[in-house]
Amino acid sequence: MIYRAMTDELHERLLAEGREPLRPAHGYTFRLLEARDDVTTVALADHLGITKQAASKIAAELESWDYIERRPHPTDGRARVLALTPKGLAYVRHADELWGLTEDRWAAVIGPDRLDQLHADMHAYVTAAGGRAALRPVW
């Protein structure tokens, strides 16, 4: 419920500003591209926990909206590197701000120290569960 509630709140904020209807999968893609500059389609698929075909569709979609671009890979002739465009980066920065608002609301409810602890506890569990988990929907 809480995962859903927080994500819904963020998307409501984005929607209220008249942004394109990007889904969480797009957001997780942005986060990955923000953190690494050597992301291929296969790497994205692995990150999202979906097949490379599905990841390719998502990448094509984001490219058509000019949020990311596909560059030739510097050393591997088969691969292409996915990277955020300036528009994509701006979107990420803005989403960060809005997510901050959502987290602030939580901090206001339970107190910032408890929120920090909560972060740490959840992080500890994911680490104990194998370090990473898929970001796919639970359904």
Chain residues binding DNA by CB under 7 A are 23, 25, 40-43, 50-54, 56-60, 70, 73, 75-80, 136, 139
Closest CA relative to residue 6, chosen from 115, 121, 133: 115
Using an 8 Å Cβ cutoff, are 1 and 7 in contact? no
Q: Does 124 bind its own copies (CB under 8 A)?
A: yes
Q: Please count the CA atoms within 13 angstroms of the CA of 111 that sit on its side-chain side.
A: 3
Q: Does 101 bind its own copies (CB under 8 A)?
A: no
Among the candidate windows 22-30, 32-40, 53-61, 93-101, which touches its own copies by CB under 8 A? Answer: 22-30
Among the candidate windows 39-47, 51-59, 86-94, 125-133, which touches its own copies by CB under 8 A? Answer: 125-133
Q: Does 129 bind its own copies (CB under 8 A)?
A: yes
State the nearest-atom distance from the C-beta of 32 to DNA, in Å. 13
13/7 Cα distance (integer angstroms): 10
30/26 Cα distance (integer angstroms): 6
- The 3-state DSSP class for residue 13 equals helix
Q: Does 132 bind its own copies (CB under 8 A)?
A: yes
